Amino acid sequence: QVQLVESGGGLVQAGGSLRLSCVASGRTSSMTHMGWFRQAPGKEREFVAAIIWSGGRTDYADSVKGRFTISRDNAKNTVYLAMNSLKPEDTAIYSCAAVEIKKYYSGIYYAPGEYDYWGQGTQVTVSS
């Protein structure tokens, strides 16, 4: 069983930056794909960014490309989401997600249903 805990959310003005962290504990594995998702009030949960087990491949939603950066430190069981040039439309609860793979696989998972473990979420609010 894997537990995920996010931190780093808060209130920031448009154009500002935040860095989210997600620490995994429990029966963690190096072969774990990680993702960040967000959900705004009244909207569906949407994909934000993902990173494969090795960190060698990442992908982002079009809405955040060039502004957000996902990274991971497997030695610390931590994945990060650096968010720059934040916009009011980025306001949402941000959750990290994980899925353990049984063999080496470099494909990106984009759908929430492809992940098995979820954190509680951290609120990001961007004011105008």
pLDDT, tens digit (0-9, with 9 covering 90-100), for 1-27: 899 999 999 999 999 999 999 999 988
Distance of CA 39 to the CA centre of its chain: 12
Q: Where are the beta strands (DSSP E) in the chain?
A: 2-7, 10-13, 18-26, 32-39, 46-51, 58-60, 68-73, 78-83, 92-100, 117-118, 122-127
pLDDT, tens digit (0-9, with 9 covering 90-100), for 45-61: 999 999 999 899 999 99
**Residue 121 burial (CB count, 10 A):** 18
C-alpha closest to that of 119 among 103, 98, 96, 100: 96
Q: Give percent of the chain with pLDDT exceeding 70.
A: 100
Q: What is the pLDDT of residue 82?
A: 98
- Find the angle CA(80)-CA(84)-CA(90) to the nearest 5 degrees: 90
pLDDT, tens digit (0-9, with 9 covering 90-100), for 66-113: 999 999 998 999 999 999 999 999 999 999 999 998 888 889 999 999
Question: Is a pLDDT exceeding 80 seen at residue 28?
Answer: no
C-alpha to C-alpha distance for 56 and 118, rounded to whole angstroms: 22
Hunting for tokens 């090795």 — which residue is that? 54
Q: What is the pLDDT of residue 29?
A: 78
